[in-house]
Each structure stands twice: as C-alpha cells, then as structure tokens.
Amino acid sequence: MPAPQPAHYLRRLGIWDAAMIVIGGVIGAGIFRTPAAVAKSTGSGTEVILLWTIGGLLTLAGVLCYAELGARRPQAGGTYVYLREAFGQLPAFLFGWTMALINYPGSVAAVATTFADYAARAVGLPHEWVKPIAVGAISFIVAVNLFGIRAGALMQNIFTILKLSAVALLIVVGLYLARGHLGLAFVADTTREVPTSMLIGALLPAMFAYGGFHYLNDLAGEVRDPQRTLPRALGLGMGSVVVCYVLVNIAYMAGLGHAGLAASTAPAADLMRRVFGEAGATVIAVGIACSTFGYCSIAIAGGARVLQVMSADGMFFKPIARIDPRTNAPQIALMALGGWAIALILSGSFEALVDYTTVGEWLSHAFGIATIFWYRRKLKSEPSPYLVPGYPVVPLIFTTTVLCVIAATAIAQPQNAGMSLLIIAIGVPVYYLWRRRK
C-alpha cells in the first residue's frame, strides 16, 4: 500500500483574491492619519501630491520586482525563500527571526489595538474594552483562517471592499467641499518656508504608508496559475492603491486646506465632521476599523506561512511545520503567531517592537529585491515567465531608495534603528544554536 502523501498548500486564490490581498495589505490605518505628517513638512498642496505620487511610483518599482520573484518561485514563504536560495540559510533565518517572530506579530498587535480603539469609539464603549476587543479580533481571524485559505480570502475580500468604500467616501466628501474651488487645494502656504531636506524627510511617512505589498508573495503557494496571476495582481492591486492615495490627499486638501491638513491629528474624522458632524466622524471610525481588521487578517495569514516554511527547514519548532490535511492550512503556525500577538497586546510591549523592527523590515525589502540580480546571473538557463521591465534600472532605483529611507530613518530615529540592527544581530547566535540543536 503506497504511503499517504504529506499535506501541502492548494492553489485556490484567483486574480481577484490576490489583488484584494495586495490592496488590503497596504491600506491599513496609515492613509487615514499619515497625510497630516506629510503636509506638515511641505509648503503647498502641490508638494503633497508630488510626494505621494513619487512614493507610489517608487513602490510600484518594488512591486514589479516582487512580481518577477513571485513568478520565479511561486511558493509559500516569499522573501524568506528568495533569501535562502540566493544568499543562504543565515540571511533567510535573520529575515524570519526579525519579521515572522517580531515584526509581523508586533504589527498585528499594534493594528489590532487600533482596530479595537476605533471600534470601541464607534459603539460608545469605554477605553477599558480596547484590549479585550483586540484579543477577540485576533482570535476570530485565526479561527477563520484555520478553515483554509478560501475562508480567509472570503473574509479578506469583504473587509477590503469595506475599506475601499471608506476611502471612496472620503474622496467624494472632499470633492464636495471643494465645489468648484479645487485649485485652492494646491496653492502654496506663503507663511512658511520648507527646506529641501524637510521635503525629502516628508517622503518617509508616505513610503511607510505604501508598505505591505509583500504579503501576497508570502501566500504565493496558494495562488492559481501563479506565473500569470502574481504579476497581474501585484500590478493591479498596487496601482489601485496609488490612485486611491493620491485622490484621498486631494480630497483632504480640498476639504481642509493645506494648513488644515497639516494641523489635523485625525484628518479623516475632521473631513467627515465638516459635512456630517459627529455622525460623520463615527462613520469613518467604522471604516478605519474595517480597514485595520482586514490588514490583521492578511498579516496573520502571510506571517504564518513564513513560520511554517522556516519550521519545515528545521529553523523553528518542528510541529509548526505541519499543514493540516483537511484544510491545507498551517494551523499550528496560525495559532502560534496569533497567540504571540495576543501576548504582546496583553503585555503592552508591541509599540516598541514595531518601532524597533521598521529598519529591519525595509532592509528585508532591499535584500529581497537584490536577489533578482542573483537569479538573473545564476539562472540564465531558467527562463522566467515574467521579467521586470527596465532591468537593472528598476530594481536598482528601488534598492537605492530603500537604503536612503533606512539611512534617513537612522538619522531621525537613531535609537530605534540601533535596536532594529541589534535584534537582527541577536539572531546570528540564535541561528547557530538552532543549527546545533537540529
């Protein structure tokens, strides 16, 4: 009697599901708050739109590179797999150590708390309910994903549509407030002078708001016809995000003015409040809650796949490598990641972790995309079904930009950058200890 085949991932995600994952992974809470930070460092609405457009185009360059990588290696694990093949097990482990064990659960804990905060405010619950709601949200997301990728994708699609509806509402309200005076949104603020260095610094929050496009590559092992679907979904999803972000910023400035946007601590709520009063602020709070909930779903699903692949390589606890034969989901990895995120919420330590691992996240993007040069040089005889246009200029532009973002972040926040590098460095002895244990 033949031995039963081990469980593996099934390709059940079509282009619609994949594009929704890209959109949902990028649009979280950032676009509802970050534009104020960008406006503070600029002198006109034109500069704001220019920065968001530049940030979007730079991110699209990275997305095109990830499209080639995903088409070359359409399997679960994403960047971890590319680093392992191109640069060896140690760099791959350091990525997994930093991202799957620290950044992903830390981000989930932070964004789940944001979701709980907005949800509690929307229904009038006191602040004491925030932690229980955040824990409940993560538990619910993990429970749904235990049933397989189709259940998780259905939930994700619903919440991505809801977050896009919230974005569309902001755009309509902003343009309604302009009513024939849209040009005023782009006028210069003559009361302030903005040096060039400050403008470059304003690109940082915009770039961070565009992050999250890599989650689809973590789930590439469950995408149908991946060589065609991954490039199309990444391009369609990220292109849609760039258009949404630019239009939302035009709406903010049309409704609040450049100075009003720069002074706002909650621009989305302020914009809605101008038309609908407190009811409008409540409506957009619900929209932000939906947006953040959807992000948590993607981060948990993608992070669990990275953990599972690491464990299958013997670089983490062996039980986490198991894929359930009935649902074809990495159930133990999902529960481990969700449980660690819940522990971070209850301990209240997640905010520091997210700050400390930001540099590590962007380093992983730089080195992940740098693997394209290795694939092109070493695997000339292995044609890729999709090649990034403009090679080698496009990956060089993105990698150089990311390294500049890292340098600017290190200058602006040396303590956080130092801690990020320390966390990565601690992973080196952990790696060798794990290899000895193995």
Residue 230 lies in a domain: yes
Q: Is the pLDDT of residue 190 over 70?
A: no
For residues 293-304, average pLDDT: 92
Q: What is the mean pLDDT of the chain?
A: 87
Residue 10 lies in a domain: no
For residues 117-146, average pLDDT: 92
C-alpha dihedral over 396, 399, 400, 406, to 10 degrees?
180
What span, in angstroms and rounded, lies between the C-alpha atoms of 70 and 286? 34
Contacts of 6 (CB under 8 A, 6+ apart): 323
Residue 345 lies in a domain: yes
Residue 5 lies in a domain: no
Q: Which amino acid is at 364?
A: S
Look at 313 and 192; give whichever has higher pLDDT: 313
Closest-CA residue to 210 (of 363, 61, 367, 74) = 61
Cis ω before 392 (30° cut-off from 0): yes
Q: Is the pLDDT of residue 308 over 90?
A: yes
Token pair 């679907």 in the structure block, residue: 229
In the chain, what is the greatest distance between 2 CA atoms, to the nearest angstrom?
A: 82
| Cβ pair 350, 113 in contact under 8 A | yes
For residues 71-86, average pLDDT: 92
Residue 253 lies in a domain: yes
Q: Is the pLDDT of residue 1 over 90?
A: no
Q: Is the pLDDT of residue 233 over 70?
A: yes
The 10s digit of each residue's pLDDT in 333-376 is 999 999 999 998 988 766 676 677 777 788 888 899 999 999 99
| Cβ pair 115, 292 in contact under 8 A | yes
Total structural domains in the chain? 1
| Cβ pair 294, 306 in contact under 8 A | no
Token pair 């948990």 in the structure block, residue: 300
Range of the domain at 251: 15-437
3-state secondary structure of 316: coil
Confidence class for position 161, pLDDT limits 50, 70, 90: very high
3-state secondary structure of 223: strand
Residue 9 lies in a domain: no
Q: What CATH code is carried by the domain that includes residue 313? A: 1.20.1740.10
Please tell me the predicted confidence (pLDDT) of residue 94. Answer: 92
Please tell me the predicted confidence (pLDDT) of residue 208. Answer: 82
Residue 119 lies in a domain: yes
For residues 245-260, average pLDDT: 89
| Cβ pair 141, 338 in contact under 8 A | yes
Please tell me the predicted confidence (pLDDT) of residue 191. Answer: 61
For residues 112-126, average pLDDT: 89
What span, in angstroms and rounded, lies between the C-alpha atoms of 270 and 396? 40
Least confident of 79-93, 271-285, 331-345: 271-285
| Cβ pair 295, 159 in contact under 8 A | no
Q: How many helices (H) and strands (E) does the chain have?
A: 17, 0
| Cβ pair 257, 184 in contact under 8 A | yes
Residue 250 lies in a domain: yes
Helices (H), 179-323: 196-209, 215-218, 226-263, 267-276, 278-312
